[in-house]
Structure 1
Amino acid sequence: MTASLFIRRLATVARISEWWGYKFAPIMAICFASILLLNSPIWMLGGQLLLLLLALTVAATYVSLLNDWTDRTDDAQAGKSNRLAYTSARRVAWLLGTCVVAGVGFGWYFWRTSPLIAGLYLGTWVVFSAYSLPPVRLKGRALAGVLADAAGAHFFPQMTGIMLMSASLHQTLPPLWVGAVGIWSLACGMRNIIWHQLSDATNDAEAGMRTFVTRLGATNARRIVEFIVFPIECIALLVLLSLSSRVAAGLAMLLYAGLVLIRHYRWRMKLTIVQPQPHSHVLLNEYYEAFLPLALLLAAWWQRPAEGLVLVGFGLLFGPTLWRTVRLFGRAAWWVTRRGLPSGQ
């Protein structure tokens, strides 16, 4: 097997396409905002940002492999496909072991930088191991499972990122900023895992999984997100935008809101907070993944031409995610332009 073929197969079983842009672009956005909050150029921390991406990629690959491997029985009972269903235990053990060894290496580097950063990075590994592995297996323990997934996929990676930026600059982030990032990331993570559980509720019920949704019911779970979790997420986001004092972030929110309205009135797309629906889009996800990071980088580039290197690098790394949003925004802008032309032109 060639190296390129092995990498492609590993990317498939690790589900990289499912979490790369969706989870890592928002982490980069908050790191950019944190650096700018400390009045420092982003390009100076380009190496640390790449290191963070590599470290989180190793952790996310471990999580994806472990989750699929421990879900084989449940997926078989529900008639659901599993990427590792026919993979030998020896190969899975080798892949997981490789991830652990690489993770220890990153953890050692983070420890030398700051024990706090190492502890936050370790948090992702610990909570997701407890999430998937018996006898703990928090995945089937309702609220504990939701909190574990949200912490492992959002809270700990986001906190690792901002603390690494702070330590690299030898500056301290405002406590309110750190607290707002923590609350926002945890709420955002809870909303996303409950969305996933709602979309997979039938399979989980057939497999006898006691998830948050199967235990409380879809309606109750949706209401908790809509009336408690999502408002907390929005309040924390507003605090972050206020503290950042970046006009670009606010303008990006206005552009995103315009896109949401055009989607609703022109393309009849449904706006959803948490409930999966056909022909719909999840509120704020594109803002986190594309609008916010691009706005921050473009504004930074306007002030410091050297930031163009980071902008290009971000575009190369997250091209597919950004292209989908840019193309959609272009279609919306074209429709607005055409609609605004006088009749007969």
Structure 2
Amino acid sequence: MMTSQFASQIRAFGRFGEWWRYKISYLFVPFYFLLPGSGADVSLALKSFVLLLGYFTAAAAFGHVINDLGDVEADEKAAKVNSCSQGGRVPALVTAVCFGVLSIMLLWLGGAPWAVFVMAFLELVLFLVYSFKPLRLKESVTGLLIDAAYAHVVPFAIATWLTFEGPVTALYAALFASAIAWQGMAGLRGIIGHQLEDLLGDKEAGLRTAVIQIGADRARRWLRYCIIPAEGLFLLATLLWALVLSPLPVLALLVYSVIWEVKRRRQTRSSQGGVDQAWAGFLDRFYREWLPLATLAAVIIAAPKFWPLLVLHLVLFHISWGSRAPGSRRAIPPAVVDHLFTRVEKKGGIFEVEGCYLTSQLTTRTDINIILSAWIDGAQASAELAYAPNRFSDFYRKYHIEETPVSFTMRIKIPEAKVKVGKVELTLVAAWVNPKERVELFSKMLRFDRGQLV
């Protein structure tokens, strides 16, 4: 029993389900890509795969624990769940130290070159200066670059350097440079998107994140007109440089683009998002599912002996363990459905929405998230989401549900043009989102006339 509780606590601190499939799988792309030219045999390749998997996992867990430790006070102000508050700061700190030491030991066991150790130590330091005072670069524009570096650039560089053998030719230098720029843009997109999602809660907690400092509208313009286009261009440049070694990644991107566009045209309104969200979903799924498999296919064509890596990759990242998301509202307890959206009120130029949900009643899978969105007259509206103090605990106890509900507040800006027209149709949508699908759970439509808007 104690062993089970200890393991559960470690999982809570590391938050493995939030990033395992999303980030780890495609960090192996440079490792796979360079493997045929590395001179490694199958046993060495499998050993390197296991050690690199261990390093990525330990380093990512270290970063998540450190980030939560640095956010304890801010999360308490914003009434957000923080694993370190619930499990204790000292156990969390001990866990972080163990993960950090483990990440370095695994590289040492794998006989990593000194440059890889330097990058690994740099990654751990970046986690610390990002999260902890006196620097706490999380609350600065520089923090965007730090986050992109430790979450994307450095792990990608480590996977590359650990596998690369031979002289650094102009081709490999160009390929590496474009790949690092691509990862930098992907990291910037990820952290800016995350800060936009947490905007309201961060404001209430008194934080000064980069998005708060530069403004949400400017951050969205950065994403739409600079970062996402640059990410796409650097991705394409990387795959074009890689054509010299294999055309399969480029072909995978072309086929995936066609399939994605066909599916996008068939989707219903409620499953569509804004332009930024659509492109983010397009890129993330390609990274997570298509690119690693296309790279592995190229490797196996060049060197069939590496087929066990394909089996390992499929088992670790493509087989779903646990229950699937229910496909209908009937799968949700009535107590949860009734309180997904409990209050909608107009305050000034915004709609304010309150509600709550129970995560354990909705899913037993940690890689499935509940996404809340708002639509005004059929177009997705900009909405700030914050997790509020729990106000429904007593109600849920009547249903013999002991878990504390997740309460939230949404603030949705009403476009001036809609006020002048005098009618607004507001639709609130709650949906499952997991790595492979999106299923609408519940929607609520409200109509407001001119008297209610002005």
Of the structure 1 ranges 250-259 and 313-322, higher mean CA displacement relative to structure 2 is found in 313-322
Partner of 1:220: 218
Deviation string, structure 1 residues 41-68 (Cα, Å, up to 9, x no partner): 7845222122111112111111111111
Partner of 1:82: 82
Measured in 2, the distance between the counterparts of 1:56 and 1:197 equals: 23
Going by fraction, where is helix more abundant, 1 or 2? 1
Measured in 1, the distance between the counterparts of 2:24 and 2:281 equals: 17
**Counterpart residue identity of residue 120, structure 2:** Y
How far the C-alpha of 1:327 sits from its partner, in A, is 6.3
Evaluate the alpha carbon distance shift between residue 103 and residue 29 of structure 1 in structure 2; reply closer, same or farther with a 3 A threshold: closer
**Counterpart residue identity of residue 184, structure 1:** W
Evaluate the alpha carbon distance shift between residue 69 and residue 320 of structure 1 in structure 2; reply closer, same or farther with a 3 A threshold: farther
How far the C-alpha of 1:77 sits from its partner, in A, is 0.8
Is 2:46 the partner of 1:50? no
CA RMSD of aligned residues (A): 2.7
Measured in 1, the distance between the counterparts of 2:78 and 2:11 equals: 25
Partner of 2:283: 284
Correspondence list, 1:1-345, <5 A: 1-36=1-36, 38=37, 43=42, 44-106=44-106, 108-109=108-109, 113-141=112-140, 143-166=141-164, 169=165, 172=168, 174-245=172-243, 246-268=246-268, 269-270=271-272, 272=274, 274-275=276-277, 282-320=281-319
Partner of 1:338: none
Matched residue of 1:113: which SS?
coil
Evaluate the alpha carbon distance shift between residue 247 and residue 40 of structure 1 in structure 2; reply closer, same or farther with a 3 A threshold: farther
Matched residue of 2:87: which SS?
coil
Q: TM-score, normalised by structure 2?
A: 0.65
Matched residue of 1:282: which SS?
helix
Measured in 1, the distance between the counterparts of 2:107 and 2:228 equals: 32
Measured in 2, the distance between the counterparts of 1:59 and 1:12 equals: 15
Going by fraction, where is strand more abundant, 1 or 2? 2
Structure with the bigger RCO (C-alpha within 8 Å, sep 6+) is 1
Measured in 1, the distance between the counterparts of 2:67 and 2:83 equals: 10
Measured in 1, the distance between the counterparts of 2:435 and 2:18 equals: 19
The answer to whether the 8 Å contact 2:38/2:163 transfers is no
Give the structure with higher Rg (CA): 2
How far the C-alpha of 1:34 sits from its partner, in A, is 3.1
The answer to whether the 8 Å contact 1:150/1:193 transfers is yes
Gaps of 5+ in 2: 325-432, 438-454
Measured in 2, the distance between the counterparts of 1:239 and 1:39 equals: 23
Evaluate the alpha carbon distance shift between residue 114 and residue 272 of structure 1 in structure 2; reply closer, same or farther with a 3 A threshold: farther
Evaluate the alpha carbon distance shift between residue 243 and residue 35 of structure 1 in structure 2; reply closer, same or farther with a 3 A threshold: farther
Evaluate the alpha carbon distance shift between residue 85 and residue 325 of structure 1 in structure 2; reply closer, same or farther with a 3 A threshold: closer
How far the C-alpha of 1:273 sits from its partner, in A, is 5.8
Deviation string, structure 1 residues 201-250 (Cα, Å, up to 9, x no partner): 11111111111211112111011122222222122211211121122212
Q: How many residues align?
A: 320
The answer to whether the 8 Å contact 2:63/2:124 transfers is yes
